[in-house]
Amino acid sequence: MAVRNVLTWGDPRLKQNSEDVGDWTPELETLVQDLFDTSYAEEGVGIAAPQVGVNLNIAVIDTSCGQDPAARIVLINPEVLRGEGTQRGPEGCLSIPGIHEILERPRKVWVKTRTREGAWEELEGEDLLARAFCHEIDHLRGRLFVEYFGPVKRQIIQRKYSKSRA
């Protein structure tokens, strides 16, 4: 399929709420494959459609980074149902390349997502998968992980990011 350009921090399209997906189409199947291809090319664990400029509630996750086809997860109109426990660890984002910061997330998360056929299913994720669920669903709501930090920390991160891009 195709590797798409990833939008970066500051692009207003990353701040929009995504639109729900209706009936599954061949174009959506192509988008999903492109998202996996883009995530693998960027050495990511996942990517959301808004990160490639598509304002739809679709994200993909593969915690094996392409090593295990069974690890591929497609989130369609997902919603976090609940979280449990906490984990603190480094988090990065394909839209903010080169930046990794310690962020607290739930250790275990349950999400509701639609299948390609339109049925709803519940998925459970722990540790890295829980972090990825939260991170990608945040993208679908127009939120970047750096927004969890206070204004001073966010300014420091933004300066570090700007320097790395110069």
Tell me the average pLDDT across 110-115. Answer: 98
Residue with tokens 């990011």: 161
pLDDT tier, 159 (very low <50, low <70, confident <90, very high otherwise): very high
Percentage of residues of the chain with pLDDT beyond 70: 99
Catalytic residue among 43, 101, 122, 136: 136
Phi-psi map region of 18: left, alpha, beta (phi>0 left; psi -120 to 50 alpha): beta
Segment 47-73, tens digit of pLDDT: 999 999 999 999 999 999 999 999 999
pLDDT tier, 100 (very low <50, low <70, confident <90, very high otherwise): very high
Tell me the average pLDDT across 158-166. Answer: 90
pLDDT at 165 over 90: no
pLDDT at 10 over 90: yes
pLDDT at 1 over 80: no
Tell me the average pLDDT across 93-106. Answer: 96
On whether the CB atoms of residues 142 and 7 are closer than 8 A, the answer is no
134 marked as part of a ligand binding site:
no
Tell me the average pLDDT across 160-165. Answer: 90
Q: Which residues lie closer than 8 Å to 67 by C-beta, 6 or more apart?
A: none
Domains of the chain, residue spans: 12-165
Tell me the average pLDDT across 19-37. Answer: 97
Q: What is the pLDDT of residue 123?
A: 98
- The Cα 39–Cα 44 span in angstroms is 5
Segment 72-86, tens digit of pLDDT: 999 999 999 999 999
Assigned superfamily of 12-165:
Peptide deformylase (3.90.45.10)
Q: What is the pLDDT of residue 166?
A: 78
- The Cα 133–Cα 143 span in angstroms is 13
100 marked as part of a ligand binding site:
no
Phi-psi map region of 77: left, alpha, beta (phi>0 left; psi -120 to 50 alpha): left
**101 is an active site residue:** no
Percentage of residues of the chain with pLDDT beyond 90: 97
